[in-house]
Structure formats: structure tokens, C-alpha cells
């Protein structure tokens, strides 16, 4: 249970860290992005970049969850659903700033992408601590 809780926290932290890093990259590489960010008046390529950022970040969060709690089937879904719950209020608040397709393209795949990221991470048959013990035994 503690491992599952740690995996959920780790997945959420991973999501926050990765999205921050990618967003900094968008500010540096995507012309006009920094100017558009405060007003949220993004061009279509900027919106697509933001959706791609969320997708990649969700996949990474899922792999982190699986790495921490490989046997937990619920943890990736919990992380994904928590992310939806965290972002839903801001998407309701910003509903008028973005087209409906953007909100749906962000919110609907969020939890499934975290679960997919976890599924893509190969499951270990034994935890690393057991592997070390087995290597040391005669």
C-alpha cells in the first residue's frame, strides 16, 4: 500500500516536472508562445504543441508510477483521474478561451495516457532488492 501511495505521489511529481521542462522548451523554441501564454491566445500549432506536451507528460508519469509500484494496476488510473480532477476546474474557468475540441483532447485522454505509459513500462518479475539478494547467495 505504501508503495502505491509513493507511486501516485511520484507520478504526480513527474507530471509536474516534465510538463514544466517541456513548457520551458516551448517558450524557447515556438515563436510567439511566450507572448501568447499570459493571455492564452494560442495559435493552432501552439494548441497542438500543448496537447502533445500533456500527452508525453502523461506517458512519462505512467512509467514512473509503474517503476515505483510495478504490481499496482490502480495507481496509474488514480494518477490520471487525479490529474483530470485537478485540471477540470481550470478548463471550466477557461472554457471560453479554447474551442471544445481542445478541452476534450486534453481531458479525455489524460487518464488513459497515464495508464498506457504504465503499460508500456516492462514489468519486472522480481523487485531489485530481491535480485541483489539472489546474486549474493551461493
62 belongs to a structural domain: yes
3-state secondary structure of 112: helix
Regions in the chain scoring below 70 on pLDDT: 123-138
Give the Cβ contact number of residue 19 at 10 Å.
Answer: 18
137 belongs to a structural domain: no
9 belongs to a structural domain: yes
CB under 8 Å to 83, separation ≥6 — which residues?
12, 15, 58, 61, 110, 111, 114
127 belongs to a structural domain: no
CB under 8 Å to 100, separation ≥6 — which residues?
none
Dist. CA 78–CA 111, nearest whole Å: 8
**What's the structural domain count of the chain?**
1
Give the Cβ contact number of residue 127 at 10 Å.
Answer: 12
27 belongs to a structural domain: yes
* Amino acid 126: pLDDT: 52
Dist. CA 132–CA 67, nearest whole Å: 17
* Amino acid 125: pLDDT: 58
131 belongs to a structural domain: no
66 belongs to a structural domain: yes
* Amino acid 122: pLDDT: 77
Rounded to an integer, what is the distance from CA 60 to the centroid of its chain?
6
pTM: 0.84
3-state secondary structure of 109: coil
126 belongs to a structural domain: no
Structural domain harbouring 111: 2-118
Nine-digit cell at 27?
Answer: 517558450
* Amino acid 128: pLDDT: 58
Amino acid at each position: 500500500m505504501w508503495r502505491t501511495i509513493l507511486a501516485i505521489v511520484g507520478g504526480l511529481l513527474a507530471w509536474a516536472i516534465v510538463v514544466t521542462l517541456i513548457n520551458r522548451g516551448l517558450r524557447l523554441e515556438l515563436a510567439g508562445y511566450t507572448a501568447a501564454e499570459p493571455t492564452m491566445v494560442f495559435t493552432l500549432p501552439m494548441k497542438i504543441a500543448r496537447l502533445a506536451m500533456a500527452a508525453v507528460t502523461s506517458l512519462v508519469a505512467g512509467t514512473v508510477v509503474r517503476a515505483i509500484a510495478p504490481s499496482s494496476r490502480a495507481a496509474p488510473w488514480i494518477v490520471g483521474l487525479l490529474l483530470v480532477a485537478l485540471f477540470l476546474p481550470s478548463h471550466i474557468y477557461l472554457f471560453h478561451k479554447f474551442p471544445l475540441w481542445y478541452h476534450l483532447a486534453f481531458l479525455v485522454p489524460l487518464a488513459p495516457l497515464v495508464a498506457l505509459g504504465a503499460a508500456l513500462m516492462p514489468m519486472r518479475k522480481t523487485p531489485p532488492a530481491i535480485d541483489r539478494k539472489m546474486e549474493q547467495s551461493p
